[in-house]
Amino acid sequence: MIQVEPYAESIQDIIMRAPQTLGVTIFPEDLTKEIYAQLAQRFQSLPNRLCLTALLASDDAGSHQYAEWTRETCHNIGIDFCLVRLTPRNVATYIKALNENSFVHGIMVYYPIFGDARDDEIKSTVDPRKDVEGLNRAHSPHSHGVIEDSARPRLVPTLVPCTAKAVESILIWLGIYDRSLAEGERLNGWDICIINRSDVVGLPLAQLLASQGARVYSVDIIGVQIYQASLTSGVAEVRSTPTEWTLQDVVKKSGVIISAVPHRTFKVNTKWIQRGTICINVASAKNFDTEILEVASKFVPRVGNLTIAALLDNLLQCTKVLPS
């Protein structure tokens, strides 16, 4: 089993030693309202209305519901939202046309379409300058790429996939980030367990939190990996290290547990969770039992519409690199 040197005295250690108020359920709706109000002001200050175009090529009920939520939110904030329904075989062709359409500022696609590697190919088709979901591999979590156009090189914004960005917003809201510290150090001393290492949520979230100084235990069916930032030639770089640890091992170590497993039968064993831990349920399924309130200091049962708020924040970032 891999051995990792523990932190000396950490914020997490201090918090876990202190008396805890347990069983506090935190709902993200208040945070969502606050963020939407800020976004509305920012969009209204722009010289022109923005257009977000979404492509729907499946009968997935969740995708249809998400589309309606997005439409309503865009209408309330002052964004033109265009939903295009089409067949799976036409998606890539339509994306290429939208990439060239100067009236379209952001492109999103509701997945799954095919449910296999073809979906990854479609993600890479979206112009990174319009990829409000942050799913194109051109978006690196720690660097900017350069997009060439006929006018001049333009930097691609570092966009975080929407659900991962929403979880980050929740952690900031809960006070996990120490804003008195420098960027890259704001999660120093925290051990965080993320269950499900998907490309859309778990992996980018692990990289994001590790880049702020956390030691992240990323759990998937193939095992546990540790994500940590280290200096290489003076530049911070997040690296992953495989371990022989189990889910139980890392849940016991963690002060924050984030679970995103989309299976209704999966539950994090409450007996493994240390008293005072912060637990966040990201999946549509309930990954924590009701007994979680007996050990967790704070429990967030859902991310909710924060994903749409993150999407619209990414849309604003995209406008910084599109031709005016």
pLDDT of residue 100: 96
Under a CB-based contact definition with an 8 Å cutoff, are residues 90 and 99 in contact?
no
| Phi/psi at 194 (5° precision) | -120, 120
Model pLDDT for residues 11-62, shown as the tens digit of each residue: 455 445 444 567 899 999 889 999 999 999 999 999 999 999 999 998 888 8
CA-to-CA distance for 154 and 40, rounded, in angstroms? 26
- pLDDT greater than 60 at residue 256: yes
Instruction: Provide the pLDDT for residue 12.
Output: 54
| pLDDT at site 251 | 98
DSSP bridge pairs for 54: 83, 108
- Amino acid symbol at 113: I
For 67-101, write each residue's pLDDT tens digit.
999 999 999 999 999 999 999 999 999 999 999 99
The amino acid sitting at 210 is: A
In terms of phi and psi (left: phi > 0; alpha: psi -120 to 50; beta: otherwise), the region of 169 is alpha
Residues catalogued as catalytic: 162
Angle separating helix axes 162-173 and 202-210, nearest 10 degrees:
40
pLDDT band at 136 (very low <50, low <70, confident <90, very high): confident
pLDDT for 48-65, tens place per residue?
A: 999 999 999 988 888 999
Q: Are strands 298-300 and 223-232 parallel, antiparallel or unpaired?
A: unpaired
The confidence score (pLDDT) of residue 21 equals: 65
Band (8; pLDDT cuts 50, 70, 90)? very low
Looking at 3.40.47.10, 3.50.50.60, 3.40.50.720, 1.10.3720.10, the CATH number of the domain 11-28+163-304 comes to: 3.40.50.720
Could you tell me the residue ranges of all domains in the chain? 11-28+163-304, 48-155+307-319
Give yes or no for a contact between 50 and 79, defined as CB atoms under 8 angstroms apart: yes
CB 142 within 8 A of CB 236: yes
Q: Is the dihedral of CA 300, 306, 311, 316 positive or negative?
A: negative
Query: 245 — phi, psi (to 5°)?
Result: -70, 160
pTM of the model: 0.85
Structural contact between residues 194 and 205, judged by C-beta atoms closer than 8 angstroms: yes
Asked whether the domain spanning 48-155+307-319 has the same topology as the one spanning 11-28+163-304, the reply is: yes
CATH topology for the 48-155+307-319 domain: Rossmann fold (3.40.50)
142: which residues sit within 8 A by CB, 6+ positions away?
A: 158, 207, 211, 236, 237, 238
Residue-wise DSSP of 191-210: EEEEE---TTTHHHHHHHHH
Task: Work out the angle at residue 198's Cα, subtended by the Cα atoms of residues 131 and 33, and round it to the nearest 5 degrees.
Answer: 60
Q: What is the pLDDT of residue 60?
A: 85
Q: Taken in order 134, 137, 139, 140, is the CA torsion positive or negative?
A: positive
Question: Across residues 94-120, what is the average pLDDT?
Answer: 94
Task: Work out the burial of residue 189: count CB atoms within 10 Å of its CB; fewer than 13 is exposed, 13-18 middle, 19 or more buried.
Answer: buried
